[in-house]
Amino acid sequence: MLRNITNFFRLIYILWQFIRYDVLYPATWTKGFKFVYFSLKLARYFRNRKYDSLRWGQRIALALVKLGPSFIKFGQTLATRSDLIGDDVATDLTLLQDRLDPFSFKESKNIIENETGMPINELFSSFDEKPAAAASIAQVHYATTMNGEDVAVKILRPQIENAFASDLSLFKWVAKILENYISRTKRLQPVKVVQIFANTIGLEMDMRMEAAAAAELAKNFEGDPDFKVPQIFWETTTKRVLTIERLSGCRPDDIVSLEKAGHDPSKILQKSACIFFNQVFRDGFFHADMHPGNVFVTEDGKIAPVDFGIMGRLDLETRFFLADMLTGFLTRDYKKVAEVHFRAGYVPPDQSLEVFSQACRSIGEPILGLPLSEISLAKLLSQLFSITEKFEMETQPQLLLLQKTMLVAEGVGRQIDDRVNIWELARPLIEEWMITYRSPPARIQKISAELLTLAERIPKIIQNSELIINQASHGGLQLHTDTIERYIEFNRGKRSILRWPAILFSITVGILIGMLIR
């Protein structure tokens, strides 16, 4: 009860901020509720008119910054959901500035010393008291180790866990209300979306997890001449403190500085395209927040990310799906695109393959008909996600995160050279990967490996079967009453000669599942 009251008053405050930033208008979704619609229209008179010239998405971003760290992060999560909020708003939220006022050096010092158990002057020969950056979850100070190595020390904000816990409780409360009382939201699974967000934030608030992500990315690119991941200093890295090698260089979108430093922007773009491809397809582990503020081009021309709080993963099957789907679009084989979706189970089998093919064509033709330099695969994916409701497609969070990352990559690529399409630069790698993993010989090899794995399991299956028979013969095997009732109903309703084999098959499958669970 107390939580409901607290959440209610918190919602009132949020509503007021949305009114001030004119976020709730145009509220076309409320037209069916006349009182609500006219109330929100009347509330516009209390808006801050200095934001009138901004786009709706920009006003949302400002309101979220005002509401604090949890809302900033939630806005960044929403930036991956163009299927829900539209391309323009998603783009505005992608540029959401994750900057807050810094906390004091005294607090930074206390956190470091409490976490490491050592005085700060025994860990670092120098420590810059003024933070280099202050974001919603942590802030960064530059320092020098006792061995003379320049480092960046990222420190979690004091009491940030409590702040997030309070807001996450509110998000879950609202999500349950939406799912229970607004039937249209059930397909979007708001409770699950909030839970995924909570899990992501939980990982992001453990600096050791970010350090581990950086270390994994570094191992994947070990020996790569074009990509550098900063070194992790594990001895001064804890749950609330991350110490990494300090890197310097040019922003990838700063063409003047790149040229002044002697870098060829077109070569930087080529390297970036190859690095992105390798992360997504070769490794299935990609940096999902590589906006220009999180990346340097070092003095020797390497691409170097510096923040690893948001990472994405794609299993091999998802990478196969993505490769087949994009290939189908780029060759305008829309039936293949549709078949890939059905085969992956993303579209329910009761939907029409032909109609879905037609929908894919309606998405692909306007985009693929553009000049090569203007073709956007991120926009293609966004348009594809926008038809999810019509065909009851399941939401794929990993692909939404990838689409957001692709959107940023394309934007930076066009800033560097608007005549070049970064996906065309990566095309040789894509073709090589397809030959390696998706050619007929590769598929035969995959099937052979799966058959070999199955053959290795046969002795265990036989052993389990013998155990089942022995238990049954000694009266030690029992079926759940629900299962028995279903069999009785089946017997009454079916007169086919095939019913007994079907029953025996069902019993066998049920028993095997029971054995596996044990």
The Cα 154–Cα 238 span in angstroms is: 10
Count of Cβ atoms closer than 10 Å to residue 265 Cβ:
18
Number of H helices and E strands in the chain, helices first, is: 23, 9
Which residue in the list 289, 307, 333, 417 is annotated as catalytic?
Answer: 289
The Cα 208–Cα 164 span in angstroms is: 19
Decide: 17 and 67 in contact? Cβ < 8 Å. Answer: yes
The Cα 16–Cα 39 span in angstroms is: 13
Decide: 412 and 271 in contact? Cβ < 8 Å. Answer: no
315 labelled catalytic: no
The Cα 148–Cα 51 span in angstroms is: 48
Strand partners, 126: 144
CA dihedral 309, 402, 279, 72 (to 10 degrees): -10
Count of Cβ atoms closer than 10 Å to residue 64 Cβ:
25
The Cα 217–Cα 294 span in angstroms is: 15
Strand partners, 140: 133, 154
Q: Quote the tokens at residue 248.
A: 């310097």
What Å distances lie between residue 495 and 3, 467, 485, 500, 502, CA to CA?
56, 32, 17, 10, 12
Decide: 381 and 403 in contact? Cβ < 8 Å. Answer: yes
The Cα 200–Cα 206 span in angstroms is: 10
Phi and psi (nearest 5°) for 471? -65, -40
Burial 140-173 (b: 16+ CB within 10 A, else e): bbbbebeeeeebbbbbbbeebeebbeebbebbbb
What Å distances lie between residue 356 and 170, 340, 403, CA to CA?
38, 11, 21
User: 178, 238, 171, 222: which is closest to 199 by C-alpha?
Assistant: 171
The Cα 349–Cα 392 span in angstroms is: 10
The Cα 477–Cα 469 span in angstroms is: 9
Which residues are catalytic, by number? Answer: 289
